[in-house]
Chains A and B, each alone.
Chain A
Amino acid sequence: MNISYELNDRSEGVTMNHQYNLTTNEKIVLIDLGKQGNLAPAELAQISGLKVETVIQSAFMLQEKGLVDVLEQVIETYNLTSEGEEYARSGLPERQMILAISGPTSLEELKEKVSPKIVSIATGWLRRKGWANIEQGNVIPLGKADIGDDEKALISLSNGEVTSEQLGVASSIVQELIKRKLVNRNEKKLRTFRITADGEELVRDGITLEEEIAQITSEMIKSGEWKEKKFRPYDIHTSPRIIYGAKVHPYQRLIDQMRQIFLEMGFTEIKGDIVQSSFWNFDALFQPQDHPAREMQDTFHLKGTSELPAEYKDKVRAMHEHGGEIGSKGWGGNWSEEIACKNVLRTHTTAVTIKYLADNPKPPIKAFSIDRAYRRETIDPTHTPEFEQLEGVVMDKGITFANLLGLLSEFYHRMGFKDVRFRPGYFPYTEPSVEPEVYVEGLGWVELGGAGVFRKEVTHPLGIKYPVLAWGLGVSRLAMLKLDLKDLRELYQSDIDWLRKTPSPKL
């Protein structure tokens, strides 16, 4: 605040009354009111050099402290309507008409001289004011037409809004003009401030005006000026303006927390292409070639094809056709390379996982991925054609289904689910299979993902010699739970307001 300069030479009195804890502005207002008696805000502003709003605000604060009375008086004022303004310029209709004629004149003739509207208004008033008679459609002037008080009032009102005292005509005249819709009546609150006895006493005792620091400036800090001055106390209870910072997508934050869990558990992150051959997406996972999930209605098929891996394709063929070398029954029928080499958008991240296991056959392997998978689903609140899938695999000597349950318990506990239970499940490429369920307050037991031990029909043709434990879950469904979303689309086609307002989630 820059009021300090004008205040310095206004300092007066010697003691300070701490009881009231007045701001500088309040002190100025009080001192000025003490000198001047009643003052209107504008007058007070002029005297004190403060802004009108500041004066009003300070006076009200002083009123709360019992140092100032705020007096309110209602006064009446008048101003012209737009019709009134017109007549103030060109005369009342009856005046216009009486000026337009010198002897008896027919109404038809008059309508050509002045406007028909004016004629119809004026005739009544000519008779009423005794300026003319109207006989058989003729206006006969009576030779007398003095300027009336109403006309005087119109003229004085044409300078702007006035009070009735300022107008100085009988109230009946004003009422008539209001009835003629030429004048508006207004009510105005007139506010004045007056110092109370307590206020006067305080001023008598003396008020010290001293400079207060509002915004600290660089100069103040450097000069040390702040040491001699008081810091104006702020109202710390004022509600803050709501602002939003830039942020990581809440869903990404959840994904990163899950990645963190895997990394802490000693898993290596793997990634792969979105475009995969049917071979890696289905055949390598022992999905029969006539399985409904492979059809056009469930999977996004692409135009291109991929070359089949020479080291695996014959072994995979043998497994599908007759169970290969492990005594399985296989699926029977003929396995077609043409079907296997067709490209698809990966329907699960397992297409990437299985290739990683084939490429890295040395145990122990612990790997995970959280990436997008694609299914040919119509978009609705709980289905989207692409979604994130989480997957973990462990390949090691001597590991069993019981170890899988151990891993799942640990994993889900770290995800924040205290209670986990297991039910039999079915997945085409695992045996045994299990559906983990977690307990969610308010929802009960919720199925969350699937898991199992990879079938030998899957691992053997790829040269994977040890058991593989695997589990996966749909991350977007979990995000719905954690972010309290009703519609999955909100994650992908985000409302910026939702992004701004959604607090960073925690698992």
Chain B
Amino acid sequence: MPVITLDYNDLEKLTGADKKTIIEHIPMIGADIERIEADHVDIEFFPSRPDLYSVEGTARAMRGFLGVEKGLCEYEVRPYSVEIYKDAAIDEIRPVLGCAVVRGMQFTSSSIKSLMDLQEDLHWAVGRDRKKVSIGVHDMTYIKPPFKYQAVDPDFRFVPLDFTEPLSMKEILEKHPKGVRFAHLVDGLSKYPLITDANDNVLSFPPIINGTLTRVHEGTTDLFIDVTGLSDAVYTALVIVTSALAERGGHVEFVRIINADGTDKLTPDMFSDIWKLTSEEVMDLSGIELSPKDIVELLERMRFGAKVLEDGTVEVQVPGYRADILDNSDLIEDIAIAYGYKNIKPILPLSATVGTQHPLSSERGHVRDIMVGLGYSEVMPFTLTSEKVHFEWMCRPVTDDVTCVIHPISEDQTMVRTTLLPNLMEILSFNQHRELPQRIFEVGEVVVSGKNSLHLAAVSIHASANFTEVRELLDAIMRERQTSYEIVGSEDPAFIKGRCADILINGNKVGVIGEIYPQVLINFGLGQPVVGFEIKLL
């Protein structure tokens, strides 16, 4: 989740409240404070609220929550003066475009940084690291509308941001740090997206890099914003950026987007959906009894527009930047947040129910009691292991019932175990320098051919560990479990030949028992004899 740095000066100025009050209340609108520093606070906002990823957006929400200003924040959008033509070819590559012009900005180094941070956080949270959405912000001084969003040959050349010499788009992907990092997003395309002005000056090569011509600096007053991508999230990101700039006093203008077929569209669309809500719905989900009037007031604190209709329902205006509102439950959560979680009276549900433990748990509990009674201590190793430990070190052949992970995180965890014994051997190996005898067991799950199965295994290590010891142990367990069984000689390479047997119940093999083969002991770095067994319980 993105961590947002909020500068106190900016935050106090834009909110109209002191920093202490703000910091105290921020967690109550849904955020985790990461660090409180001398001049700023770092806050982790939830991924559902990208509109809070800037000091401007946070200030807007806090003004409402603290009661400084309530209701919907309406931003004036002036008629369009800039047009942009969309090439037909771009529809195959990166089809969705939203633009805006914001004039009359007065930047400081800190407000430029805030804008850049917002852009990056949106790229990550809404844009899935620029794949779904990428944003370009341009100084309009040196460019001339109308603009053009097109698909061009990768050999097209221009000077990218932070460079002085022109590079072809292909070269940018190989040489420019941003090009290298985001090259995978245009992988396999025969033509690349490009935004140019009336004189073929380059604004940007979405989603990779801007041209150097439109760099934003402290003297910049008028901005052109392009947002390109694959889905409607483009429009949400555009509204979040433009409304943040409007909060700083910018004048927003529509941009007319003209499609290849002649149709057109004005962006940004700052106004959005109208929702309807009843007090019953609020009560049913939250358990808070509220009148429609109370609901309106609480919604206004959360910066929604709201009014009570004649039939008593509440009409809610959801601002365009609130991308998280999918249905009424999202509105009801905001009502509950405004009401204050601490003011909700916790009530236990009334239905009477009977608790039952799972048969697997009662089985495990029984076996655990037996094993501890027999002097074995329980261990709970990882279920992820490697072919090396599971098969190679056990001198056993690899089986075909193994669940392997596609991208292991380390060579120690490449598969889910199918047996417990290797895990127990590994624990003995970790404890070579601890006092002997060591007697341990595990009753735990393994995954065989994609399905869970419950196994029990135990090992004993000391100078005189032998088959008799483990044979007596198994016999005691079976008697305690009232299970008749038989053992028949078998060959398992993990055990010494002639001191190894299969355990059968009703003629079916359920496990193995024996003295561990010395090469296995050596593989696990052990210098004393080990005996053990493993059986499938369920």
Contact = CB atoms under 8 A, between A and B. Distances in A.
Contacts of B47: 426
Contact of A431 (B329, B344, B384, B447): B329
Contacts of A274: 383, 416, 445, 447, 452
Nearest to B286: A401
Nearest to A400: B287
B382 A493 contact: yes
A304 B450 contact: yes
Contacts of A403: 287, 346-349
A494 B379 contact: yes
B326 interface: yes
A264 B355 contact: yes
Contacts of A252: 368, 378, 380
A246 B437 CA distance: 12
Interface stretch (A16-24, A100-108, A191-199, A376-384): A376-384
A495 B430 CA distance: 7
Given A424-B28, A493-B427, A499 B379 contact: yes
Interface in B437-480: 438-440, 445, 447, 450-452
Contact of A292 (B128, B327, B379): B128
Contact of A494 (B325, B383, B403, B427): B427
B357 interface: yes
A286 to B, nearest CB: 9
Interface stretch (A2-10, A42-50, A323-331): A323-331
B434 A497 contact: yes
B287 A328 contact: no
B527 interface: no
Given A492-B380, A493-B430, A432 B329 contact: yes
Contacts of B355: 262-269, 366
Interface in B353-411: 353-358, 360-361, 365, 368, 371-384, 403-407, 409-410
Contacts of A328: 326-327
A363 B341 CA distance: 27
A300 interface: yes
Contacts of A345: 403, 405, 416
Contacts of B81: none
A406 interface: yes
B209 interface: no
Which of B48, B330, B382, B431: most chain A CB closer than 10 A?
A: B382
A333 interface: yes
B409 A402 contact: no
A376 B409 contact: yes
B313 to A, nearest CB: 14
B320 to A, nearest CB: 13
A377 B405 CA distance: 13
Which of the listed residues A252, A377, A409, A500 has the most CB atoms from chain B within 10 Å of its own CB?
Answer: A252
A275 B330 contact: no
Contacts of B521: none
A170 B404 CA distance: 90
Interface in A222-275: 246-249, 251-252, 256, 259, 262-275
Band of interface residues on A:
35 or more
A425 B48 CA distance: 10
Contacts of A301: 405-407
A398 to B, nearest CB: 8
Contacts of B128: 290, 292
B190 interface: no
* Chain A contact residues: helix, strand, loop or mixed: mixed
Contacts of B132: 290
B382 A431 contact: no
Contacts of A494: 379-381, 427, 430
Nearest to A497: B434
B148 to A, nearest CB: 27
The size class of the interface chain B forms with chain A is 35 or more
Given A246-B439, A401-B286, A269 B357 contact: yes
A496 B409 contact: no
Contact of B30 (A268, A323, A425, A499): A425
Given A264-B355, A330-B326, A495-B430, A467 B383 contact: no
Contacts of A386: 382-384
A357 to B, nearest CB: 14
Contact of B403 (A263, A302, A326): A302
Given A303-B404, A495-B430, A374 B377 contact: no
B450 to A, nearest CB: 5
B322 to A, nearest CB: 12
A345 B371 CA distance: 30
B351 interface: yes
Contacts of A340: none
Nearest to A378: B409
A457 interface: yes
B450 A343 contact: yes
Given A269-B358, A377-B409, A433-B333, A402 B28 contact: no
Given A376-B409, A405-B341, A246 B336 contact: no
A31 interface: no
Contacts of B447: 273-275
Contact of B372 (A248, A271, A290): A248
B332 interface: yes
Contact of A457 (B326, B342, B351, B354): B326
B68 interface: no
A243 to B, nearest CB: 11
Nearest to A491: B380
A413 to B, nearest CB: 11
A269 B361 contact: yes
B382 A326 contact: no
Nearest to B336: A432
A273 B30 CA distance: 34
A341 interface: no
A447 B32 CA distance: 10
Interface string A355-390: 000000001101000001010111100001110000
B20 interface: no
Contacts of B376: 246
Interface string A416-460: 000001111110000111100000000000010000010111000
Looking at B128, B285, B355, B378, the one whose CB has the most chain A CB atoms below 10 A away is: B355
B434 A496 contact: yes
Contacts of A314: none
B284 interface: yes
Interface in B156-211: none
A482 to B, nearest CB: 15
Nearest to A436: B341
B27 interface: yes
A408 B346 contact: yes
A266 B450 contact: no
Given A246-B371, A364-B349, A421-B342, 20 more contacts: A262-B355, A269-B361, A303-B404, A323-B327, A326-B327, A327-B328, A329-B327, A332-B231, A332-B232, A385-B413, A386-B383, A400-B287, A422-B344, A423-B27, A447-B32, A492-B380, A492-B382, A493-B382, A494-B430, A497-B434
Closest 8 CB pairs of A and B: A402-B287, A400-B287, A426-B46, A432-B333, A405-B346, A424-B30, A263-B355, A364-B351
Interface of B: 27-30, 32, 46-49, 128, 132, 231-232, 283-288, 325-330, 332-333, 336-337, 341-342, 344-349, 351-358, 360-361, 365, 368, 371-384, 403-407, 409-410, 413, 416, 426-427, 430-431, 434-435, 438-440, 445, 447, 450-452
Interface of A: 246-249, 251-252, 256, 259, 262-275, 290, 292, 296, 300-304, 323, 326-330, 332-333, 343, 345, 363-364, 366, 372, 374, 376-379, 384-386, 394, 396, 398-403, 405-410, 421-426, 431-434, 447, 453, 455-457, 467, 469, 491-497, 499-500
11 contacts: A247-B377, A247-B378, A248-B372, A262-B355, A328-B326, A402-B286, A405-B346, A426-B47, A494-B380, A494-B427, A499-B377
